[in-house]
Amino acid sequence: DAGITQSPRHKVTETGTPVTLRCHQTENHRYMYWYRQDPGHGLRLIHYSYGVKDTDKGEVSDGYSVSRSKTEDFLLTLESATSSQTSVYFCAIWRGGSTDTQYFGPGTRLTVL
Amino acid sequence: LAKTTQPISMDSYEGQEVNITCSHNNIATNDYITWYQQFPSQGPRFIIQGYKTKVTNEVASLFIPADRKSSTLSLPRVSLSDTAVYYCLVGRSGAGSYQLTFGKGTKLSVIP
């Protein structure tokens, strides 16, 4: 357990509405990530953060923005949701030590109607 | 980031040993090899990580040949609960590179 929670766990919204997903970690890790997962595509990186107020784009960042105002929270915002953003969203952190890799949260299932 | 290639799917009977091989021809000197397991509706779960030779933990073993261009995840005596998608990744931390690239994984189906 990497101490990662995501909220909400499920959300249904309508096209054109803004949506914010929250990732919260309890272990003070510097690196945090947002992925989306769709059938046939595996996990694709949307954005990541390497510190408070430090973020960068991943391979599928169009239509998404992120913010990180404190270490423990990484927010993903869909400014105007579209049906193509219906997906499962996973947050991850990078934890170093004996195993130096990413650990994932439980996911948020988002449906845009 | 090095690209990986692994079989799309595998079937196995309960109680058998399963070996999933991943090729990563462009692995860099500092890259580690990491395997994840993912069940439906859950986030990927770390299984095992290695750099060279053999690594074993309570869940699996990871075999890495000397040239490191491939690796094999070995699951001993699988059960129905091992039915999942298994991802092989290569990547490293440090020098500003804290990223992993996920492929499509190997869907393992364990048959009673």
Residue B102: pLDDT over 60: yes
B 53-92 residues with CB < 8 A to A: 87, 91-92
Reading the block at residue A88, the tokens are 């499962």
Nearest chain B residue to A6 by CA: give it. Answer: B43
Residue B8 burial (CB < 10 Å; 0-12/13-18/19+)? exposed
B43/A96 touch (CB, cutoff 8 Å), yes or no:
no
pLDDT at B96: 47
Q: Give the percent of chain A with pLDDT over 90.
A: 82
Read off the pLDDT of each residue in B17-21 and give the average, rounded to a whole number.
97
For chain B, the structural domain boundaries read 9-111
- Mean pLDDT value of segment B41-54: 92
Cα-Cα-Cα-Cα dihedral of A108, A28, A70, B49, to 10°? Answer: -50
pLDDT in tens, A6-25: 999 999 999 999 999 999 99
Cβ neighbours around B2 below 10 Å, total: 16
Query: Which architecture, in CATH terms, is A4-112?
Result: Sandwich (2.60)
Interchain contact B46–A (C-beta under 8 A): yes
Residue A18 contacts residue A105 (beta carbons within 8 Å)? no
Hey, where are the domains in chain A? 4-112
Which of A102, A103, A110, A111 to probe the B interface (max B CBs under 10 A)? A102
CB-defined contacts A:B, below 8 A = 52
pLDDT band at A101 (very low <50, low <70, confident <90, very high): confident
**pLDDT band per the 50, 70, 90 thresholds, residue B101:** confident
**Across all residues in chain A, what is the average pLDDT?**
93
Q: How confident is the model at residue A1 (pLDDT cuts 50, 70, 90)?
A: low
Q: What's the pLDDT score for residue B94? A: 56
Max Cα separation, chain B?
47
Query: Which residues from A are below 8 Å from B43, CB to CB?
Result: 90, 92, 104-107
Q: What are phi and psi of B70, to 5 degrees?
A: -150, 170
User: Per CATH, which fold does B9-111 belong to?
Assistant: Immunoglobulin-like (2.60.40)
Going by C-beta distance under 8 Å and a sequence separation of 6 or more, which residues neighbour residue B76? B17, B60, B61
Look at residue B36 and tell me whether its pLDDT is greater than 90.
yes
